[in-house]
Amino acid sequence: MSKTLFEKIWDAHIVTEVPDGPTQLYIDRMYCHEVTSPQAFAGLRSRGLQVFRPQQITCMPDHNIPTLHQEQPIADPISKNQVDTLDKNAREFGVNYYPMGHPKNGVIHIVGPENGLSLPGMTMVCGDSHTSTHGAMGAVAFGIGTSEVEMVLATQCVFQSRPKTMRISVNGKLGKCVGAKDIALYIISKIGTGGATGYFVEYAGDAVKSLTMEGRLTLCNLSIESGARGGMIAPDETTFEYIKGREFAPKGEEWEKKLAYWRTLKTDDGAKFDKELIFNAEDIEPMVTYGTNPGMGMGINDNIPTLESIDEASRISFQKSLEYMGFTAGEKIVGKPIDYVFIGSCTNGRIEDFREFAEFVKGKRKAENVVAWVVPGSWAVDKQIREEGLDKILADAGFEIRQPGCSACLAMNDDKVPAGKYAVSTSNRNFEGRQGPGARTILASPLIAAAAAVTGRLTDPRAV
């Protein structure tokens, strides 16, 4: 029988199925960070249980950690306690662990793929909705809650209802200054933040195939912003090339064996999806958001929708959103002054993102009025930035590189955007207060972030 890529991987991981109930799904790898794991470890302790398969669990703190002076103790005692709790739990239960400052520490969704921990055909979970990132390797990866983290710690399984399948194809050639982030924001702007709820998405089409591995990670990362359980891309030569030689990737004979299996991981001809969506790459402009959820996006030169164009039932929420942002229905936002720029996060904190950003700002100067946070996704990315000399380019343009972590994406550390200020952010959520109470977030690509950083305004990178 013809199967989709999702079905092949999911079916290969079924342990049992409860009649008219969920699937008991075997999990190959779980990642844990400090925010969503303490209660799970505590639960394990109170049940008197050990971690069932400690070698399949990898932990690291990323959400709370400061992006300056990581060599010193964390100043915020509550953040410090949470990071210390992970430290204690990881050591006590004997799981893989990369503490703050460790050369392999960083944002968990950056670290997994870059070390060859996230591989095609795997099932992966983490108490974090952006676990969808790892699906770019050709895997089933999804975010779970803390109770489910406890289940995986105790049994290496989760209970999940089988999601429906959706294929989103983006065909054609991407325009100038249009990349993975723009594809994702475009799709979400078309289908909304609940558009893929209940579905597991496979991205396909030549525009998707043309993306680099890192671009694919960005695209799959944002799957959850359309409500999808996860997103995935069939592994191909781009994937295998990326994985080969990474520290935890299979080697030698094992590599050949795995590679032969990975090559079977694609949707069969004739396999049926519950839903199919098709978009044209040529229609996608460099994208920005204007509202308070990632679905409120548009091409950078577009006008915010008018109130009349919004569904009557949704108008109150729409107006509330624009009021928060300080924008007016129907207006353009290109050219508006901005205050902060953030490049980093599990969405855009990889080396290619910093290459793009650095190339754009090369020979230019950061605008005086802009505070810029340049935050590598991991120490490995930081190292590469320096090896490639991007640090010099950035320094010459007036940018300072900070230390890795989730940082201003959700502002659990000190990297908070003040109330009322506008931030052009390469992260994933523009929810009210996401980057600090009252902060106004405009989501965009590294290129738009770079253009905003040097002009001090929301600027089309093609026009600079």
CB of 154 to another protein, least distance (A): 6
Question: Min. distance of Cβ 24 from another protein in angstroms?
Answer: 6
Q: How far is the CB of 297 from another protein (least distance, A)?
A: 14
Contacts 24+ apart (CB under 8 A), 449-453: 449/341, 449/342, 449/343, 449/357, 449/424, 449/425, 450/343, 450/356, 450/357, 450/360, 450/361, 451/360, 452/338, 452/341, 452/370, 452/424, 453/341, 453/361, 453/366, 453/367, 453/370, 453/372, 453/399, 453/424
CB of 225 to another protein, least distance (A): 8
Q: Closest approach of Cβ 237 to another protein, in Å?
A: 26
| Count of C-beta atoms within a 10 Å radius of residue 154 | 16
Closer CB to another protein, residue 49 or residue 334?
49
Tokens representing 148 are 């489910």
Q: Which is nearer to another protein, 195 or 205 (CB)?
A: 195
Alpha helices in 74-120 (DSSP H): 77-93, 108-114
Shortest distance in whole angstroms from residue 399 CB to another protein: 25
Angle at CA of residue 285, ends 284 and 286, nearest 5°? 125
CB of 201 to another protein, least distance (A): 12
Cα 80 from Cα 323, distance rounded (Å): 36
DSSP 274-321: SEEEEEEGGGPPPEEE-SSSTTSEEETTSBPPPGGGS-GGGHHHHHHH
Assigned token pair, 318: 């729409």
Question: For residue 58, what is the DSSP state?
Answer: E
Residue 302, Cβ density class (10 Å: 0-12 exposed, 13-18 middle, ≥19 buried):
middle
Q: Which is nearer to another protein, 104 or 440 (CB)?
A: 440
For residues 308 and 319, what is the distance between their CA atoms, to the nearest angstrom?
11
Q: Which is nearer to another protein, 126 or 372 (CB)?
A: 126
Phi then psi dihedrals of residue 450, to 5 deg = -65, -45
Length of the chain: 464
- Nearer to another protein among residue 311 and residue 368 (C-beta): 311
For the CA atoms of the chain, what is the radius of gyration?
A: 21
Give the pair of three-digit tokens for residue 164: 């429906």
| Nearer Cβ to another protein (63/350) | 63
